[in-house]
Amino acid sequence: MKIGIVNDLPMAMETLRRVVTKDDRHKVVWMAEDGKRAIEKCAEQVPDLILMDLIMPVMNGVDSTRRIMKLSPCPILIVTASVGGNSALVFEAMGAGALDVVATPVVNEKNNAGSQELLKKIERIGKLIGIKEKGLDDLPVRPVKIEVKSQEGPCLVVLGCSTGGPQALLEVLEVLPRDFSGSVVIVQHMDEQFTKGLADWLNGQLELEVRIMKEGDHPRPGVVLIPSTNHHMIMHPNKSLGYSEEPKSNFYHPSVDVFFKSVSQYWRGKCIAILLTGMGRDGAEGMLALYQQGHMTIAQDQKTSVVYGMPKAAIDLHAAREILPLDTIGLRLKRLLTTDREKEKKHG
């Protein structure tokens, strides 16, 4: 991979260069000492991946990420020594388009854990950006049109997202009231060491309660559950939630497809599935499975997506019943459940 490095500390920049070039498949094509210079470098040569520091003079990693994704879009991995103390900035950067975040490797660390973690993240991103849209041709070009079924029981809202996800989740969920009657479960591509910070960050801005999902939890009205694991989240036959290493061949962790498919298999109440911004095509086949069960499915539109990969893949499969801009998805969700409640009162 052709890699750009952005960091204001010469020692950190050199450490990153050495770690990256230990793998002869990678080449550092440029280095920049601040976010403004990174924008200029990226305009001259767009790399396969940028390793972006978070706290820098002149322009920080959040603003630089936002500008690069607008002017010269490419994959960005936040690499910073200040992950824990700046969680809000981390999620803001991910909302602006950064794919993931990892701690800066420490010089002369004994076990090379930081270096290995960085290389593992780069490897995963390499697989992601190298993915061909395989499998789409093997699925039906246009599935049979199935009307939304009128289903009894509580409503489960499942959301999948990746690149740009934190800010998108906030915009969708912030319009929902504390007494929202649906149960919400989120699958965001994110390393487990950062998901608690995401839950805390959302909790500080939403009326709904946000919790980390624990093995055996059941979806609950008015509660948002987020998995915190490098394994997949699944639904069990008794409708409880859990974690699974399988399928190991799916390198999205946690995978939206794996969760959505398990929901389509075991959930018997009403379900609304939403796919938001994200690179790749995770979630498309799972959304199709839910569509075929007669559930409501919504995909974010291209104009408001930071990266259009995940919702586009679902739209290409004709698995999305509605394609909506981000600022209307939460209102649509609220309206769908309000209509259901009014029907129940009328018939009750």
Clarify whether 189 is annotated catalytic. yes
Compute the average pLDDT of residues 15-29.
94
DSSP symbols for 316-337: HTT--SEEE-HHHHHHHHHHHH
Where is pLDDT greater, at 348 or 46?
Answer: 46
Q: Which helix (H) or strand (E) holds 246?
A: none
Both tokens of residue 25?
């498949």
Q: Which of 222, 221, 218, 196 is closest to 209 using CA atoms? A: 222
Give me the percent of the chain exceeding a pLDDT of 90. Answer: 67
Comparing 50-64, 119-133, 245-259, which segment has the lowest mean pLDDT? 119-133
- Residue 35 to residues 31, 80, 95, 155, 313: CA-CA distances in angstroms? 11, 13, 17, 44, 32
What residues contact 51, with CB distance under 8 A and at least 6 apart? 3, 4, 5, 6, 7, 16, 20, 77, 79, 118
Task: Show the tokens assigned to 15.
Answer: 């450490």
CATH superfamily placement of domain 137-347: Methylesterase CheB, C-terminal domain (3.40.50.180)
- Tell me, what's the pLDDT at 338? 81
pLDDT band at 135 (very low <50, low <70, confident <90, very high): very low
pTM across the whole model: 0.84
Burial 264-295 (b: 16+ CB within 10 A, else e): beebeebbbbbbbbbbbbbbbbbbbbbbebeb
In the residue annotation, 231 being an active-site residue is answered as no
- pLDDT-derived band at 276, boundaries 50, 70, 90: very high
Write down the catalytic residue from 64, 162, 228, 264. Answer: 162
Comparison of pLDDT for 131 and 288, the residue scoring more: 288
Domain boundaries, the chain: 2-129, 137-347
> So what's the pLDDT on residue 134?
45
Which of these is catalytic: 48, 100, 257, 282?
282
Whether 137-347 and 2-129 are alike in CATH topology: the answer is: yes
CATH number of 2-129: 3.40.50.2300
Q: What pLDDT is stored for residue 136 in this prediction?
A: 45
User: What pLDDT does 54 receive?
Assistant: 92
Q: How many CB atoms lie within 10 A of CB 89?
A: 19
- Residues 34, 100, 189, 295: which is the catalytic one? 189
Tell me whether residue 162 is one of the annotated catalytic residues: yes
Of 221-235, 243-257, 282-296, the range with the lowest mean pLDDT is 243-257
Looking at residue 149, its pLDDT comes to: 74
pLDDT on residue 117: 87
pLDDT digits (tens, 9 = 90+) for 185-215: 999 988 777 888 899 999 999 999 999 999 9
pLDDT exceeds 90 at position 342? no
Instruction: Identify the CA nearest to 336 among candidates 170, 167, 176, 171.
Output: 176
**Angle 1-134-292 (CA atoms, 0-180°, nearest 5)?**
135
Residue with tokens 């994704």: 69
Structure tokens that stand for 88 in this block: 């809000």
260 and 288 in contact (C-beta within 8 Å)? no
pLDDT at residue 153 tops 90:
no
Q: How far apart are CA 192 and CA 197, in angstroms?
A: 10
